[in-house]
């Protein structure tokens, strides 16, 4: 694949580069789409090519039904991503995206397919940590909006746009259903390193819940806490990308030596 236009609908705003050493797949938060990451390529080094994931039900795939359970979502993602595992790669997921990327990595391992060389998870409690909040995806509209506002589950600018929030209700409910109906199944930890990010002002996810990701890897673990709330992905984007690149530098160095 040499041009973004020839890619699967699962990949939007991708920047394919035949000279890159590493492919970065990015998974967004509940209600978000691939456009969340469209500016990231401008801040990434040329060794990293960006591949944001576009789930059904949003943006360019608005007409498609969103998934409401994680198992069929992972099954579909696993099939879609398989042709793009022909280069060393890593996963980055924010909030819901962290959970999806984690379960996708475990599914790829079960299939004996190439695995991510690093898992970067952001603004999400570790999968084995129970949810502290009751489910909200089936609440009436007004209560649902109040709850996602309280939980910081959707950017404030989206919640203030009445027309937009009505259009997003189906995908928001579906995404919250994916997260809230998720049941963790014990398995051996991943072998790849995990870097976890959290927000010091995030009232939904505590530092301890983010730090618990260390139990999901037999490899190296690192925790970074940023100053912002749940959506430091936007407010502290430049710093977050710098930390991601910093986390991947040893891997990039190793890959460069392999190609000498």
| Helices 96-110 + 162-180 axis angle, to 10 | 40
Is 95 annotated as catalytic?
yes
- Residue 24, strand partner residues: 50, 90
Alpha-carbon span 85 to 8, nearest angstrom: 13
Catalytic: which of 5, 6, 35, 95? 95
Instruction: Evaluate the CA torsion angle 105, 77, 139, 61 in order and state its sign.
Output: positive
Classify the phi-psi angles of 88: left when phi > 0, otherwise alpha if psi is within -120 to 50, otherwise beta: beta
Q: Residue 88's closest CA among 161, 137, 181, 24? A: 24
Q: CB burial class (10 A; 0-12, 13-18, 19+) of residue 175?
A: buried
Q: Residue 127's closest CA among 201, 224, 196? A: 196
| DSSP-based three-state secondary structure for 218 | coil
Residue with tokens 């002002």: 201
Cα three-residue angle 124-128-133, rounded to 5 degrees: 60
Alpha-carbon span 178 to 139, nearest angstrom: 15
List all residues 6 or more positions away from 100 whose beta carbon is below 8 Å from its beta carbon: 27, 70, 73, 74, 77, 93, 178
Catalytic residues: 95
């Amino acid at each position: 694949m040499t041009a973004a236009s020839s890619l699967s609908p699962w990949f939007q705003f991708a920047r394919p580069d035949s000279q890159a050493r590493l492919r970065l797949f990015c998974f967004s938060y509940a209600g978000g789409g691939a456009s969340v990451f469209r500016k990231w390529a401008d801040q990434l080094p040329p060794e990293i090519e960006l591949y944001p994931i576009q789930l059904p039900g949003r943006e360019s795939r608005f007409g498609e039904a969103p998934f409401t359970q994680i198992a069929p979502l992972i099954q579909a993602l696993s099939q879609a991503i398989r042709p793009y595992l022909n280069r060393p790669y890593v996963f980055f997921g924010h909030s819901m995206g962290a959970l999806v990327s984690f379960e996708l990595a475990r599914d790829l391992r079960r299939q004996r397919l190439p695995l991510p060389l690093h898992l970067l998870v952001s603004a999400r409690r570790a999968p084995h940590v129970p949810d502290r909040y009751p489910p909200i995806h089936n609440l009436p509209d007004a209560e649902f909006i109040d709850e996602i506002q309280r939980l910081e589950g959707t950017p404030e600018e989206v919640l203030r746009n009445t027309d937009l929030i009505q259009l997003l209700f189906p995908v928001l409910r579906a995404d919250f259903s994916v997260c809230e109906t998720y049941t963790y199944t014990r398995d051996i930890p991943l072998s790849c390193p995990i870097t976890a990010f959290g927000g010091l002002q995030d009232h939904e996810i505590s530092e301890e819940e983010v730090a618990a990701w260390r139990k999901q890897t037999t490899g190296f673990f690192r925790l970074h806490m940023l100053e912002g709330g749940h959506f430091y992905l936007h407010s502290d984007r430049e710093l977050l990308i710098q930390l991601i690149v910093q986390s991947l530098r040893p891997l990039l160095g190793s890959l460069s030596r392999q190609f000498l």
